[in-house]
């Protein structure tokens, strides 16, 4: 296999995000429709297939691997996959194995995740108000997530809080959320809502440019740009008053495409070279039709050769339809 994956614009692909399920125990209003139709089990890659797929990417140069969903920890026997993938940490071929979670299952799984070599997790959390949390997630219980965060920190996991900035919902709460996170030794990242998939609300009403949010924060806090990176798209500042880090993910106001080192694989084995484009490659077929990995490796190489320079996200009153039809839970958050 080739030692590395280089796209047409000279970017080395070293970061893989893999959705292990499209299912979730929440129904966040900006992410899913309330009446979601999930994929049949036969369409999903098995845990063994996911392990094989990830291992091929690692052999081809991936150094960071993130498990996503839906909610990855609701996948049956998910810890078997985490245990299997941890061998790549042990032999030095992988720098980091991590996951993005809504936190609902962390109380149960945090100690085992730490035992497998997971050192940090991202927890998606948009409010610290229990009633608002129930409203935004439709089904979630804030106290359960808080117990999960407690358990993760007790197990030695570093946590980064991911918060989608939503106008009229949590824009006034974000400063206090940042203070709460930094007081607990957690980084926080705010994210612009992305136009992916048909949902039950109008995203143009929700959309809050982070340039506007940053300007508000700077009336109260001293924010200094820093070169800190975690491998993802966030640009970080240090907050002088707290000593903590705050990240901004701005796919609409200031996209991060020029340094994109990421690709995403869905739970069905579809490879998306760009979060904001529909072009994709089928990896399930070569995975299932060959015992060896040569066909799979060739399919990956061909797909990487088509990775675009950037996405075409737009959100405004004239463009009400989502930029891409698939939901974020399908792609892998």
Q: Give per-residue pLDDT as tens, 126-135.
A: 999 999 999 9
Mean pLDDT of 296-301: 96
Give me the pLDDT at residue 201, please: 53
Compute the residue count for the chain.
Answer: 333
Task: List pLDDT tens digits, range 24-45.
Answer: 988 888 877 777 778 888 899 9
pLDDT for residue 253 = 54
Residue 30, annotated as binding a ligand: yes
Structure tokens at 180: 């709460």
- Measured CA angle at 156 (ends 155, 160), to 5 deg: 110
Residue 100 among known ligand-binding residues: yes
Q: Is residue 23 marked as binding? A: no
Give mean pLDDT, residues 249-254: 68
Whether residue 66 is predicted with pLDDT greater than 80 in this model: the reply is: yes
CATH of domain 15-331: 3.20.20.70
Whole-angstrom Cα Rg for the chain: 19
**Residues linked to residue 158 through DSSP beta bridges, in sequence order:** 120
**Is 24 marked as a binding-site residue?**
yes
* CB 307, CB 8: distance < 8 Å: yes
134 is in an annotated binding site: no
pLDDT of residue 308: 87
Pick the most confident of 3-17, 19-33, 184-198: 3-17
Report whether pLDDT(323) > 80: no
> What pLDDT is recorded for position 197?
46
Q: Is the dihedral of CA 138, 139, 143, 145 positive or negative?
A: negative
- Residue 17 labelled as part of a binding site: yes
pLDDT exceeds 80 at position 317: no
More confident position, 327 or 189:
189
Model pLDDT for residues 107-152, shown as the tens digit of each residue: 999 999 999 999 999 999 999 999 999 999 998 999 999 999 999 9
Token pair for 310? 């950037």
Weakest mean pLDDT among 108-112, 134-138, 207-211, 313-317: 313-317
Is there a binding annotation on residue 318? no
Residue 319, pLDDT > 80, answer no
pLDDT at 269 over 50: yes
User: Was 194 annotated as part of a binding site?
Assistant: yes
Which of 277, 331, 273 has the alpha carbon at shortest distance from 70?
A: 331
Question: According to the annotation, is 28 in a ligand binding site?
Answer: yes
Looking at residue 199, its pLDDT comes to: 46
The predicted pLDDT at position 230 comes to 83
Mean pLDDT, range 1-26, rounded to an integer: 88
* Domain locations in the chain as residue ranges: 15-331
């Amino acid at each position: 296999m080739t030692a590395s994956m280089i796209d047409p614009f000279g970017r080395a692909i070293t970061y893989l995000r893999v959705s292990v399920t499209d299912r979730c125990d929440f129904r966040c209003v900006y992410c899913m429709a309330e009446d979601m139709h999930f994929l049949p089990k036969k369409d999903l890659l098995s845990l063994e297939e996911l392990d094989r797929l990830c291992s091929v990417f690692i052999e081809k140069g991936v150094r960071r691997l993130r498990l996503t969903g839906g909610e990855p920890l609701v996948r049956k026997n998910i810890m078997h996959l985490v245990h299997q993938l941890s061998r790549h940490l042990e032999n030095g071929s992988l720098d980091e194995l991590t996951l993005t979670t809504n936190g609902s299952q962390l109380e149960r799984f945090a100690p085992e995740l730490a035992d497998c070599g997971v050192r940090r997790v991202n927890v998606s959390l948009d409010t610290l108000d229990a009633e608002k949390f129930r409203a935004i997630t439709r089904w979630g219980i804030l106290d359960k997530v808080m117990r999960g965060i407690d358990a993760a920190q007790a197990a030695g996991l570093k946590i980064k809080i991911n918060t989608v900035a939503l106008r009229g919902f949590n824009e006034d709460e974000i400063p206090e959320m940042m203070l709460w996170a930094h007081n607990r030794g957690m980084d926080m990242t705010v994210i612009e809502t992305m136009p992916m998939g048909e949902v039950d609300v109008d995203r143009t009403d929700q959309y809050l440019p982070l340039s506007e949010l940053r300007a508000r924060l700077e009336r109260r806090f001293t924010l200094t740009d820093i070169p800190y990176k975690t491998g993802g798209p966030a640009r970080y500042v240090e907050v002088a008053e707290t000593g903590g880090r705050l990240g901004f993910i701005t796919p609409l106001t200031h996209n991060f495409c020029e340094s994109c080192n990421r690709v995403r694989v869905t739970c069905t084995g579809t490879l998306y070279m760009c979060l904001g484009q529909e072009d994709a490659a089928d990896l399930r077929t070569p995975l299932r039709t060959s015992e060896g990995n040569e066909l799979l490796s060739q399919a990956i190489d061909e797909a990487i050769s088509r990775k675009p320079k950037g996405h075409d996200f737009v959100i405004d009153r004239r463009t009400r339809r989502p930029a891409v039809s698939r939901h974020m839970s399908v792609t892998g958050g």
